[in-house]
Amino acid sequence: MLDRHTPPGPDDAVSSAVVRVLPRLTRAIAAELHRLPAAGDLSLAQFRALCCLSERPYRPGELAKALEVGRPALSSIVDALVHRGLVERSPELPTDRRGVLLSLTPAGRALHRTLQAHTRAGVGALLASATPAEWRALARGLDALERGLDAAGREAHPTLTEVR
């Protein structure tokens, strides 16, 4: 039972649906990536790195945290993207050769835009049978979920949100 000071949370059925659907949606997006010839053999982890780097440059440690991978895994992901000419490493400060920033190259930005458009179309196809009211309700629900994720990110990483 909730007291007067506790705001009501999401219905358990809604939370369960999100947890049930999210892995399936992730697999569908990965499948869409593999259908696009421009993606080549891009892995889901590499796609996620492109998505993060499309927002801003990252230090390697920050990107590892954002992707929830260890440094060895991140090195493998980034090395593959650098090899393909999609990501570049640059000195963070001209006077400190140890500090590195990772950022998308123009080719990386172009591929990211192509992949985003293709996956958006794929998700749109999954929602083709939805009514306009369902689209609006889903958009409102996803906005609320994004606000919750943003708030959780600010609480977990207060200094990272200042950079954005």
pLDDT tens figures, 132-147:
999 999 999 999 999 9
| Whether residues 61 and 96 fall in one domain | yes
| Whether residues 88 and 160 fall in one domain | no
Confidence tier at 152 by pLDDT (50, 70, 90): confident
Domain range for residue 160?
130-164
pLDDT at 164 over 50: no
pTM: 0.73
| Whether residues 98 and 49 fall in one domain | yes
pLDDT value at position 161? 42
| Whether residues 79 and 103 fall in one domain | yes
| Whether residues 47 and 74 fall in one domain | yes
| Whether residues 117 and 151 fall in one domain | no
Q: Which helix (H) or strand (E) holds 149?
A: helix 132-156
Question: Three-state SS across 50-95?
Answer: HHHHHHCCECHHHHHHHHCCCHHHHHHHHHHHHHCCCEEEEEEECC
In a domain, 21, yes or no: no
pLDDT value at position 127? 93
Residue 144's alpha-carbon distances to 6, 20, 62, 140, in angstroms, are 18, 18, 25, 6
Tell me which of 26-35, 49-58, 92-101, 116-125 is least confident. 92-101
pLDDT value at position 156? 60
| Whether residues 112 and 150 fall in one domain | no
Residue-averaged pLDDT of the chain? 85
pLDDT tens figures, 4-53:
454 556 678 888 888 999 999 988 888 888 888 888 888 889 999 999 99
| Whether residues 85 and 152 fall in one domain | no
Q: Which helix (H) or strand (E) holds 122?
A: helix 106-126
pLDDT at 160 over 60: no
